[in-house]
Amino acid sequence: MKTTTTLATLAAMATFVPAALMAQDAQLDANMDGVVTYDEAAMAMPDLTEDAFMQMDANSDGVLDADELAMARDGGMLPDGAAAPDAG
């Protein structure tokens, strides 16, 4: 019984964590195309330099995908609560 409960808890966590990360990524991804450009990131974090953005861009494609955003957060390069400014 304990194993079943533990597995159910892990399964629930596995679905919650990616959903939470996707919600944070959506706050940065202003045009909702699935990646974050330097301009989008700079809107949310005005102090972000292009050099810092390039360090987060692990595959050097000019945008940050969900994996790169997660690595940047884990590495302390991107705050957990980074959000785009209000549109109003």
CATH of the domain at 37: 1.10.238.10
Asked if residue 29 belongs to a domain, the reply is yes
CA distance 43 to 18: 24
- The sign of the CA dihedral 61, 50, 39, 36 is positive
Asked if residue 11 belongs to a domain, the reply is no
Number of folded domains that form the chain: 1
CA distance 78 to 60: 17
Range of the domain at 46: 18-74
Asked if residue 46 belongs to a domain, the reply is yes
Low-confidence ranges of the chain (pLDDT < 50): 1, 5, 10-21, 83-88
pTM: 0.65
What per-residue confidence (pLDDT) applies to 44? 87
